[in-house]
Amino acid sequence: MRKNSVTYVKTSDMKRRVAIIGAGCSGLTAIKACLEEHLQPVCFEREDDVGGLWNYNDEPKLGKGSVFKSTVINVSKEMMAFSDFPPPRHHATFGPHRQVLDYFKLYAENFGLSEFIRFNTSVEKVEQAEDYEETGRWTLIYRNATTDDVKTEIFDGVMVCTGHHTFPHMPIFYGKRQFRGRIMHSHSYRDSTEYADKKVLVVGLGNSGVDIAVDLCKHAKQVYLSSRRGAWIISRKFLCGIPADAFANTRLLFSLPKSFLKWAFQFFANLHFNHGLYGLKPQNRGLETHPTISDDLPVKMLSGQVILKPNVQHFTETGVILDNNECIEVDDVIFATGYDFKFPFFDDQVISVDKNKVYLYKYMFPPHLPYPTLAFIGLVQVIGAVMPVSEMQCRWFTRLLKGQNTLPFREIMEEDIEQKRKRFSFIKTQRHTIQSFYIEYMDEVAKEIGAKPNLFRMIFKDPVLAFHCFCSPCIPAQYRLVGPCKWDGARECIKTAWQRSLSPLSETSFPWNRSDAKKSSTDDKKWLTDDISTTAIVTVLFFIVIYMYFSPRTHLSKCYF
């Protein structure tokens, strides 16, 4: 674990004050980014602890994101880590929610972030200060939940770190009021014990819907899973058991054409299980929607514990009528239908939301505002982890606030937004309005602050590191090699990421496995045979051969695509 590396200055020396709304993963890294740039952060958190939605509560709370009791994160620990704070080696490759929260607490403790957080404090209103036209400052009104005191303060900048999994989206269906059973949103789901011997319908085939359907199988009599359009479902693990997200997010793969990546994604999704055979194949191609991740759904479907159904048409007193006019009787219905984006402390003049469409430059800045003193952090959905994305956004914003970077003119920002919408490669639904690719977006923002690694130059200066940056997972530490607040430990972190990611698996009772794992992780001369780098190269070559050999007219392509 690295020691605290933030360069602190006395509060009296900190000139510009920044309000940070929320102390989840985005809020914590926002505090640290402010400290690195010698700004004075004040973080407002409505709960009594850090973690945001990863701060599990037995009872759901309106306006707070949540996870259920058995939630396991969908991204591996090295890919979700902050760029200069690797997770502990003993943490699981894909940790349960309590371990994710532990990591955030370690991060806060290591960098001394908690002293800048006002817990049990909710923000009621954010508006432009009286002198905004001259200074760009903001007035913030907040309430202390313990004393009920309401106070007002003025800040030089505001970072909104409330996320986008806060306000449940409940679709409208005819007959819901006459249904005798219980209807709830996945936001309120905690565990399956209260559904013992019940027939339950889960609506939605995203990550929450599939996870809940699988979890319900522990106690429910029968689980139905309803979907409008199907989904591409992948496993957390790839070939040879390596983390799929670590393999997928490499610069090597993303240097290939998008059409090829879509083909490859579908190929491996169908190796997991044949989506057409299981009735899950959607009309869209792979990577045109946010992927659904599940290791267990195929087995639950094979065992009949989960039965796939089409979309709901309307409710009856005892169940639902489906789009195919089939009637099924159920005791409870759980809507895993996503969330609505809302910012109740802002007026519409600051930011307006239309069916989850937000008009923001780089998913951060309202282009009509004359000052770059307001940023929305983490309001982007990448195919990967949001934690390093939020960190990169915070690093950019704090430099803008210090005047070390500038935003382009309004016309250029608006043109960029429109161009992104025209080039948008995801399906146009309410769920995918802020969708992007991890490496693509990280490089785009990193370039603004000079933190994007130059691989061409690196080939001549450090070819081993260049190889890892190109062929191994694009872990966040790549963005600490150069640029502001670079980290001396970044190179070693990149080279050893794979060993750290799988280190918990080597803790076994079999001595021959322990010795093999130790030998593999300590032999620096075998860097070229590093598992994930070799796997990436071999798999890309395999893709190219398969792609060239099988035309769309072959039987195999009809089966898998």
Question: What digits encode the pLDDT tens for the residues 151-193?
Answer: 999 999 999 999 999 999 999 999 999 999 999 999 999 999 9
Alpha carbons 376 and 360: distance in angstroms, whole number: 9
pLDDT value of position 37? 96
pLDDT band at 118 (very low <50, low <70, confident <90, very high): very high
* Mean of pLDDT values over 78-96: 97
* SS3 (DSSP) at 334: strand
pLDDT value of position 545? 54
Evaluate if residue 560 carries a pLDDT over 70. no
Alpha carbons 24 and 47: distance in angstroms, whole number: 10
Please check whether residue 96 is in contact with residue 70, taking contact to mean a CB–CB distance below 8 angstroms. yes
Alpha carbons 357 and 550: distance in angstroms, whole number: 40
Residues 6+ apart with CB under 8 A from 527: 464, 467, 468, 495
Q: Look up residue 220 and give its two tokens.
A: 């429910």
Q: Look up residue 79 and give its two tokens.
A: 């890919």
Q: What are phi and psi of 82, to 5 degrees?
A: -75, 155
* Mean of pLDDT values over 273-288: 93
pLDDT value of position 433? 85
Please check whether residue 313 is in contact with residue 292, taking contact to mean a CB–CB distance below 8 angstroms. no
* Mean of pLDDT values over 305-324: 97
Arithmetic mean of pLDDT over the chain: 90
Secondary structure percentages of the chain, helix, strand, coil, to 5: 40, 20, 45
Alpha carbons 82 and 521: distance in angstroms, whole number: 23
Residue 457 amino acid letter: R
**Of the candidate ranges 17-26, 141-150, 242-251, 325-334, the one whose mean pLDDT is the lowest:** 242-251
Entry pTM: 0.92
Q: Look up residue 74 and give its two tokens.
A: 């969908």
Please check whether residue 159 is in contact with residue 18, taking contact to mean a CB–CB distance below 8 angstroms. yes
Alpha carbons 525 and 548: distance in angstroms, whole number: 35
* SS3 (DSSP) at 375: strand
Question: What digits encode the pLDDT tens for the residues 520-530?
Answer: 544 444 544 45
pLDDT value of position 5? 45
pLDDT value of position 63? 84
Segments of 178-331 assigned E as strands: 182-185, 199-203, 222-226, 233-234, 292-293, 306-309, 312-315, 319-322, 327-329
What sign does the dihedral 118-123-126-131 (CA atoms) show? Answer: negative
Q: Which domains does the chain have, with CATH numbers?
A: 14-166+340-449 (3.50.50.60)
Please check whether residue 117 is in contact with residue 45, taking contact to mean a CB–CB distance below 8 angstroms. yes
From the list 144, 157, 132, the residue with the least C-alpha distance to 44 is 144
Q: What are phi and psi of 392, to 5 degrees?
A: -65, -40
DSSP output for 289-320: SPPEE-SSHHHHHHTTSEEEE--EEEE-SSEE
Question: What digits encode the pLDDT tens for the residues 398-422?
Answer: 999 999 999 999 999 999 999 988 8
- The total of other beta-carbon atoms located within 10 Å of residue 422's CB is 7
Alpha carbons 268 and 3: distance in angstroms, whole number: 40
Alpha carbons 547 and 520: distance in angstroms, whole number: 33
Alpha carbons 93 and 144: distance in angstroms, whole number: 38
The residue count for the chain: 561
